[in-house]
Structure 1
Amino acid sequence: MARFSGATWKPISVNFTAKGQSSVRGLVVHIMAGTLAGTDSWFRNPAAKASSHFGTGKSGALYQWVDTANRAWAQADGNTSWLSIENEGQGGDALTSKQLDRIAEVFAWVHKTYGVPLQVASGPTGKGLGYHAMGGSAWGSHPSCPGSRIIAQLPEIVARAKKLAGTPAPQYAPFPGTAWFKKSPRSALVTAMGKRLVAEGCSAYASGPGPQWTESDRKSYAKWQKKRGFTGADADGWPGKTTWDALRVPKV
């Protein structure tokens, strides 16, 4: 049995697979498109055929519905190797600070219990803190779950989890401004960004990440922005403050 002591235990009797969690790659963040109470009720309905290991309320409530030794039904093919956490709210919402705290608490516990690295996951085959849309069609085709605003908050959740786990958060380079990149600079910072993009599954580089920002870097950055759920001006291939904070480029 694996239950997080910081959560209110709300066991359900349907909509999960007993002892079906084959491995744990990390924790997947979802949005409920509803309330915590409504979701609690829905998971108890056999017709729902859906569940989650954990769930948060906007005011800071934290529920655990499914023991993490069991498989919740939250993200289709991702269920066998990922835990799940639903969050009260609607598509397009950002998480409240209390929700960020609760997810960080669960993620720090997942790190301690299963050895999951405290990082944003690079994709379905990666490890760390993920989000529903990253699984694509194999995870049920939910491109708006949990939404770009919440995806942009994942690094903050990781930072809070590291603090809880006693791991100091790394230092990051200050944002140099979008115009800096349009001058095609040569810098170790560009190399660090390239390595981060490759680690998150981008491969649009002509010859791998290098010290100069080129058109290949811009295309790869645009690919990463879209993969992470950004749209409009935040998905044009040019680093902006919002996507910079989401990428969290290591200081060089």
Structure 2
Amino acid sequence: MARMPGAEWRPIAVNHTKGGQEAVRGVVVHIMAGTFEGTDSWFRNPAAKASSHFGTSKSGKLRQWVDTADRAWAQAGGNRTWLSVENEGKGGDVLTDEQLDRIAEVLAWAHKTRGVPLQVTHDPNGKGLGYHAMGGSAWGGHTSCPGPRIVAQLAEIVARAKKLTGTTAPKPYTPPAFPKGLAPNKAKPSAVTLQRALKKAGYMPSSVKESPNYGPQTQAAVAKFHNAHTQYRAKGVTRDPAIGPKGWAALFRLAYGK
């Protein structure tokens, strides 16, 4: 059995699969779109066909419903290899400071017991701290869960987990000036620096070969970053190949810490 110390153990008799949890890639953050106790009741209803390993309340309660040796029914195709944390609230919310602390505790425990790396990932095939929407249709198509404001808080959760585990955080990094108006498919020395930051932040697969050429793979990774952080892209643009000074600085904060 795998029960997290410090979490209230409130097991459910339905809506999960005994055993079947494979090597854990990481922890997935969800939003309940409801209340903490209401979600607890819903998970106990056979009609729900849904559950989560853990849950947090806005006031900071941490509850465990499913043993982490078992498979919770939280993110469809991601159930086999990811642990799940549902959080009280609704779409458009931000997590409370108490909720950030509780998720950080779950992540730190998963790091200690399952080797989950203390990093943000935006890739369902990656590892670390992820979120429901990143799995797309394979994870049920919940593209608004938990919402961009909470996705923007994931880096803070990782930072708190690092403090809990005593992990040495990278030294603060001041990003270099990014060439204004960087054009796609043009050789630029800064393209390699950009690619490394995109990989570190989880927006570009680590297998992509670094190149000074700002080609289609780099453009796609930048667009993925923009779509996760809409405040840094041009208004109305969904696949913006350029990145401005604010976006450049934000990307480096995500990649290397504050």
TM-score interval, normalised by the smaller of the two chains: 0.7 to 0.9
Q: Summarize deviations over 1:127-183 as a string: whole Å, max 9, x none.
A: 111100111110000110011111111111111101101102212323667xx4415
Shift, 1:24, TM fit: 0.7
Amino acid at match of 2:243: W
Q: Which moved more, 1:207-216 or 1:136-145?
A: 207-216
Question: 1:182 maps to what in 2?
Answer: 180
Mapping 1:134-173, distance limit 5 Å: 134-173=134-173
Q: What residue identity is the alignment partner of 2:195?
A: G
Aligned amino acid, residue 196 of structure 2: K
Aligned position for 1:249:
255
Larger mean Cα displacement after TM superposition, 190-199 or 27-36: 190-199
Aligned to 2:204: 202
- Residue 231 of structure 1 corresponds to 230
Distance 2:137 2:220 in 1: 23
Distance 1:246 1:160 in 2: 19
DSSP 3-state at the match of 2:58 = coil
Q: Is the 8 A contact 2:203 2:222 kept in 1?
A: no
Question: Percent identity of the aligned residues?
Answer: 58
1:58-79 per-position Cα deviation (integer Å, ceiling 9, x unaligned): 1111110000000000000100
Question: What is the alpha-carbon distance in structure 2 between the residues aligned to residue 132 and residue 243 of structure 1?
Answer: 25
TM-score between the two structures when normalised by the length of structure 1: 0.85
User: 1:220–1:5: structure 2 CA closer, same or farther, 3 Å change rule?
Assistant: closer
- 1:17-58 deviations in whole A, cap 9, x for unaligned? 011212211100001111111100100000000000000111
Alignment of 1:23-102 (within 5 A): 23-102=23-102
Tell me the distance in 2 between the aligned counterparts of 1:136 and 1:193: 25
2:71 and 2:196 map into 1 onto residues whose CA distance is 34
Q: Which sits farther off after the overlay, 58-67 or 231-240?
A: 231-240
Gaps of 5+ in 1: none
Letter aligned with residue 204 of structure 2 = C
TM-score (norm 2): 0.83
Q: Which runs of 5+ in 2 are unaligned?
A: none
Q: Which amino acid aligns with 2:255?
A: V
Which range is displaced more, 162-171 or 62-71?
162-171
Whether contact under 8 Å (2:54, 2:66) holds in the other structure is yes
3-state DSSP class of the match of 1:84?
Answer: strand
Count residues in correspondence: 243
Contact 1:155 1:246 in 2 (8 A): no
